[in-house]
Structures are given as structure tokens and as C-alpha cells.
Structure 1
């Protein structure tokens, strides 16, 4: 029994995990037993997250304010949820990066990775054009407060909030608030609110699209294989399922070790950029915000290292197992989805004094993103357009976790390269997306800089989109 606050703090993480586990179980029951939800294709983790959000705001917060729960219970719960969201994203991508090359029902060539990155970045650019363009329009109509440089620059928070989630939106919101002489008041809340709306567009918008397409396509559950073969669990050249150490333990140890190297790498880069104050202010938050990208890159390098060790005869058996790595990725992504949605702070919406502009920008941004990806993905991913759209749209409105969640509804066993496209695309997007990161720091410096940023974003989007549509004409073979 928890008798005091100190004991509660000690057992807090266990209690929070218990809450998430119960939410997932209840969400699964709702998803399978209630016809409305069963037909909607709404992911179980999303249902659990929405339940968690209601539980937090309707039950936990009043009990915390009334003294039944510790006063800072909700704040600490939110901190825990943010940590789960942050770390599980990286762990999931590491698990996918460690997978050995497997035979897919549909194959793509290596150059496809660059197209994946261009799909992601072109959507970022489009969202940036929408965001800054609409704030510029508002500034000279009914929102004169947006005439400040930082006010106009918050339009860039649309791609950060939708595509990168609460972390990046929060970081850049703080940066815009701190800009002198006229920082954008409420920039942090605006960024968090935009990220929250991104989750709504990812879940509701994505499910709406899947339901419309479902009339012509079978669901993921119908296409799933009836059973898993023993070869998927244990290939002849792999370590046994259980000997002196369990095979699953080895997979977890590999993932955690790679993540440890990832954190060390990020820490080293953070110390390096700290040598210059301006560089540190611009890049430090980006380094820690892209933990999943660093993790995935190091996982790919680790996989190459294992291949080298086997080639020279220093390692005789294969340690990574695709089946178990897929299952681990599924677990952490489910945790991420329920935690990220439960962590939404409703006060960021209710306390924002520019909520009209916020609703207009997020609504137009979400709708145009869906329209753009609908036409683009059926060209770039001709052999699996539904899976390609699900992964990309979920990622480019919510986070990679919602992209995976939507993908699993139509491709639960990752039979298509859509999940791999998401991983490789995120990597190549770093190179293509560098101008956006630079403009995000340049635009808040004044009205002129914000307008220049809008022009550059428009030109870049026209170039990227034009190349993709021309390269992947529907008349050409995939």
C-alpha cells in the first residue's frame, strides 16, 4: 500500500506503466468488441491514448487538485509520458534498423531511399509554405500581432508540430519566444498545440482515408498470414531460441547497447556544438530531438559490422532475429502511441489567444497534406500505394509512431517495404531537409526574413514536388 508521497515517488514509474498497460487492454477490448471501432480501423493504441487523455483530464487532474492524489501527480505523469514517447521512438527504429535483409513480397532498389526522403521533405516544405503563408495573410488582416518576425515564423511550426511531434514544436516555440526584441508570446504553447492537432489529424484523418479506401481494398487483418513458420523464429544459422541465454534477451541487449552508443554520440555532438554559443542554441535541441535518427544510423552500422565479423569468421552465428525484432518494435511503438496521445496538454489549446489562426492553419495544413500525399504516394509507391500513404501520412501529421500505427492496420506483418521506406526516408531526409532547419532559425529575425523564407520554401517545394511527379509518372512502370 502507498502510504506517503515518498513511497509513491519510488513506485511512480511502475504505477504509470500499470496505467498504460490497463489502457491498452481496455482499448483492445473496445477495438474488437464494439462494431463502430472495429470497422473504423482506429488503432488500438490510439483508442487507449484517447482514453488515457480523458482519464488524465477528467479524473486525475481533479483528484490531484482536491488532494486525493499528490498535487504534482499529473505533471509527473506527463513527464513520464514524454520520456516514454521520446525513448520508445528511438528504440523502435533501432529494432527495425538491426533487422537482417529479408525477402519482401514487393522489392525496391536502393535509390528508392532518396525518393522516400524527398517525399518527406517535400511535405515539410509544403506545410512550411502553408504555415508562413497563412500567418502572413493573418498579419495583414485580422491578426496584426503576427507582424513581428517571430509571429510570422511560427508558421514553420506546422511542419515541426505535424511531422516531428511535440518535442521539436516545443523547442522551436521556446526559441521564438526568446527572440529579441519582440519574441512571440505564447510560442511554446502554440507549438505544443500544433503538435496536439497533428495527432488528431493523423488518427482521425488517417482513419477516414483508410475507411474510404477500404471499400475497394481488403484490410490488413484479411491479408495477414494464418500462422508463423518456425523458420521465421529460428533460422539454421541463428542462435538457438533458448540456451544459456534466451534469444529474446539477446535482441533486447543488442537494442539497448545500440541506444547506449546513440546517447554517447549525441552527448559528444552536444559538447562539440557547445564550443560556440550561437551554434549551441541553434543545434543542440535538434541533436537531442533526432535521437531516433541517430539510433537508426548506428543500428545500420552495427548490422554492417556483424556482416563483417561473419565474413572474417570471428562470428559464426547470426544474432539479430527479424521475427523478435519486429515484435519488440511493435511493443515499443504501441507504448509510444498511447503515451504520446495521453501526454497531450489540453491547456495549450484552451489558453492560446490565437486559437482561431491555429485552427485554420492546422485544418488547412492537415487537409492539403492528405490531398498531396494521396496523389504523390500512388506514384512513388505504385505497388503498395495504400501502405505507402498510411506510413507517410501518419508520420507527416503525427509522428513516426502514428505512421507505424496506421501502417500496421493495412500491413501488420510488414510484407511491403513501407516500414523500411519510412526508416530509410527519415535518414535521407536529414540531407534534403537541412534548408528547413536553417530557415527555421533565420525566419524569426524579422518580417523581411520571414518573407524571404516563404519564397525560398516555395521554390524548394516546387523543385522537389516537380521532380517527384515527373520521375514517377503514372504512365511509367515502378
Structure 2
């Protein structure tokens, strides 16, 4: 009998329980609002790198958990019945602002990652592989899965230790996303960037300790039943709905992969990249399933609160597993380039991102910035975990609005995805112009995002330019 799955799920669960207990008892964690999944992830990081190998356990399984739970979190969020999506001017403006903010991060991280790499090659590191610059957006913006898989391909092209460098950048991104996000939240409370109502809720004892009152009458309702348990339990119904949608997503992507393989090597490479961003197809399938349920007038069987619970479970386990899945490898000869890219990434995400996000949005500026910051340094669950600190039940439209923008972002990001190997090809094909072309493409993204920012932000574009976060 194979107990491998239950070994790892049990270990993750134990670490979450221990983290929740420490959050409830230790004032340091309460004061800085460090989420229990992040504390749990640190435990798993240490356990799987120093203790688990002695017992014959590897953290490979955690990477698979992260991959699937990310897709499940998207599905459970988008299956919620939120009414007809607004198409008024304000909704379109918010959608445009989300797309601009995210694409701005793609452009900034790609452009400055490559430029800093070019500077290092021209000065003190002439043997640095040109594709090194793309490890910044791969590790920060896309996450460990993409960074590792693309790094493996670069190793075949001559980039020694590319997969390890990618994982290292992803690990650094997660840490900056987790602890940097906590710093931003505390600064938001201190400087009034968060509205008074939400700030008061954050200061409640339950938010600080992580647990509600001992009295049942003082506990909020977590979900409602939409089915009679005599036939099928309500939780079983919702989990079945989520997993059936996930199976549809798998079938759709499998069929698309078969079609792309007919094109040849280019199509196969694109198909492999699409599996790395399966969460986008999962989101589309969730919207499709919800449309079908609305057509047959059975969408009332979906309980939004239950979907929130499933999404919460996915996000918590994903954040913890993501940190535990990182291997602490020693990347000899790359410590200084990694440090330079890390500092570059920190400036882009901790300074530039809050600056422009606070000026481009009309409402919920801090919340929207927090989601984009989390996804710009880690993965979507990182952004959702940070958002839940200030918006526990996703009462604001921030999370949903972001998910609706994902599809447009994916379409606009296709040229960058296709150009990801250009720096590597500049070596294998002995054509330095391909590296320059990659920089130009990234620069075009950055310039286009800046122009879009000016059109959306208008008078606020440079208002109070000396303030990190703009408030009216």
C-alpha cells in the first residue's frame, strides 16, 4: 500500500497546526500579522532540506501539490456566483488598470533583469549566460515551476546550473513576497493606506491571534448548506463541482497540446509552456461551467461561502507547500549576480509597484496593490494570502477583478513567452543580436505599460511624486 501521499499531507497539516498555535501565542507573529501558512512554510523549508532526506523523504511531491492547488484555487474562486460581470465604464477602467499594472511588472522585471545581465557581462562577469536576466521574472513573476522547467532547457544550451538558479530566485521571490507583504501591510496600517473600517477589523483579537471566540454565538458563519445531506453533503457537492471542472480543464489542455504538436517543435515548446500556466485554462473552464449552470438555472446550488472555504484551503496549503518545495542549493559562481538581480527585483516590487498602483486605481488601491505585489514576487496564492489578511472573506471585488484580467494578461504576454529563449539562442547560434532583440521586446512592454498608465491615471500619474503610496 502506497502511503506517500498521506505522509506529505500529514506533514503539511502538522506544520499548519503548529504554525497556527504559534501565531495564537507569540506576540511577534501577531504584531507583524505574519500568516500561519508562511510560518508553516518556513518549518517545511527547514524540514524538507535538513531532516526529511534522512528519512528518505523528498520534497518533489510538494511541487506537484503546489501546481494542482493553484489551479483548484482559481476554479473555486471563479465558480462563485457574483452576479453579471459589470461592463460599465468603471469596471472597464479597473480591468484596464489591472492589466496595465501586471504587464508593467512583466516589462520592468524582464527589461531590467536583462539590462543588469548585459552590464555584468560587459564588466566583471563576461562568461555569464545571457539568459540569466530572465531568471528574475521567471522566479518572481512566474514562480518555481516555470523557473525550474525552463531552466532545465537552458542547461542543455550551456547555462550551467540554470534550474538551480531558477529555484533560488523563486525562493528569494517567495521570501520577499511573504515578508515584504507583511511589511507593506504594517506600513499600510501605520500610515493610513488601509481604510479605517478594515484597519479596525485587522486590530481585532481574532485577526491577531488567528482564532475566534470560544463562544459559538460569537463565531461568524463560514458557509451555508445548498444540498440536503440525506442525498449528498453540501461540501461533497462543491468539491465534486470543483474537481469535475478541473478534469474539464485537463481535457481541454490535453486536446490543445495534441493540436500544437502537429505544428512541430515550436508548437511542442508552446504546448509545454501552456501546461505551466494551466491555472489560466482552469479559470476559463470555471467561467464556462458557471455559464452552463446559469443557462440551466442551477447556479443557485453554488454557495459562495463554501467556495471561499475551498479556496482558503487551497491557498493555505499552496503557500506552505511552495516554501517547503524549495531546495536550498548552493549555486557556486552566481552569488553576486543573484544578489544584484535580487536587489533590482526588490526595488521594482517594493518601491515602483506601490508607487504606480496607488495612482492608477480609483478604489481599493492598497488591496489591489497587495495582490499584484504577491503575484509579482511569488504566485497567485501568495497574493491571495496577503489579501486575506486585510480582506478575510474577499468581500471586496479585488480578487475577482484580478482573476478576470488574467486571460487578457496571458494573451498579451505571449510574445514574452515566445522570446524567453532568445538570450539562450544568442549563444547557441552565435548571434548576439538575439539577446538585444529580447531587451527591445521587454522595453516595448515597459514603454507600452507606461503609456497605458499615463492614460488611465491621468492627473494622478505624478501626483505627490515623492510619496511611496498616493492617498487623496
TM over 0.5: yes
1:329 maps to 311
Taking a change above 3 Å as real, the CA distance of residues 103 and 47 of structure 1, as seen in their structure-2 partners, is: farther
1:467: Cα distance to partner? 1.4
Q: Which residue of 1 aligns with 2:290?
A: 303
Q: Which runs of 5+ in 2 are unaligned?
A: 213-217, 427-431, 462-470
SS in 1 for 2:395: coil
Q: Is the contact made by 1:219 and 1:409 (CA closer than 8 Å) also made in structure 2?
A: no
Sort the Cα spacing of 1:475 and 1:451 in 2 relative to 1 into closer, same or farther, 3 A: closer
Gaps of 5+ in 1: 1-6
Taking the aligned partners of 2:229 and 2:143, their CA distance within structure 1 comes to 39
Q: Tell whether 2:447 aligns with 1:462.
A: yes
Whether contact under 8 Å (1:126, 1:461) holds in the other structure is yes
* TM-score, normalised relative to structure 2: 0.87
* Distance in 2 (alpha carbons) for counterparts of 1:243 and 1:222: 41
Q: Secondary structure at the match of 2:301?
A: coil
The residue matched to 2:296 in structure 1 has which SS? helix
Spell out the pairing of 1:1-400 with structure 2 (5 A cutoff).
10-61=2-53, 64=54, 69-70=55-56, 73-74=57-58, 78-101=59-82, 109-110=91-92, 112-146=94-128, 151-179=129-157, 183-215=158-190, 216=192, 217=194, 218=199, 221-222=202-203, 228=220, 233=224, 239-240=226-227, 242-310=229-297, 315=298, 318-347=300-329, 350-400=330-380
1:321-346 CA deviation, whole Å, 9 max, x = no partner? 10100110000110101111011100
Deviation at 1:443, TM superposition (A): 3.1
Query: In angstroms, what is the RMSD of aligned CA positions?
Result: 2.4
1:3 is matched with: none
Distance 1:208 1:221 in 2: 14
CA distance in 1, matches of 2:141, 2:27: 31
Distance in 1 of aligned mates of 2:268 and 2:116: 27
- Specify the SS of the correspondent of 2:394: coil
Count of paired positions: 438
Q: CA contact under 8 A between 2:113 and 2:344: conserved in structure 1? A: no
CA drift of 1:213 comes to 1.6
Question: Which 10-residue stretch deviates more, 239-248 or 199-208?
Answer: 239-248
Partner of 1:445: 425
